Structure 1
Amino acid sequence: MLFRKDMDPRCAYCQRGQQINEREVACVKRGIVAVEHHCRAFKYDPLKRVPPRPAALETERLKEEDFSL
């Protein structure tokens, strides 16, 4: 997921930007922009991307026979 080729560019995970707060990024090229903004100078930095949280395991729906052969 972090290294997909078809991802939407966003300033929030661009090499040229530094996130200031939840809604703004300080871009070297454009100045202060929204996190969802992007430009032609976008360079993906996978270390800035926060992956979605994994789904929680619903243990109340599991039964003992689910774990037997």
Structure 2
Amino acid sequence: MNNTDPTWRVSTFSDNGTCVEVALAPDGGALVRNSNAREAGTLAFTQAEMAAWIKGIKAGEFDDWS
């Protein structure tokens, strides 16, 4: 691992291997991947995209998914 490799984090709410990992991208955005299928690739989001997503979560826009 070198200093450009992202540091991946998993939510403490993850259970039974159903989890998503997130890391800070070098440009300040976010990287997201499935922890059970890391070889499937990584999604990259800008800071603005992640801010909009988090704002929507906090506002309850995705509560019907739980």
Task: Bin the TM-score by the shorter chain.
Answer: under 0.3
Going by fraction, where is helix more abundant, 1 or 2?
2
TM-score (norm 2): 0.25
TM-score (normalised: structure 1):
0.25
Which structure has the larger Rg? 1
Greater fraction strand? 2
Larger RCO: 1 or 2 (CA < 8 Å, sep 6+)? 1
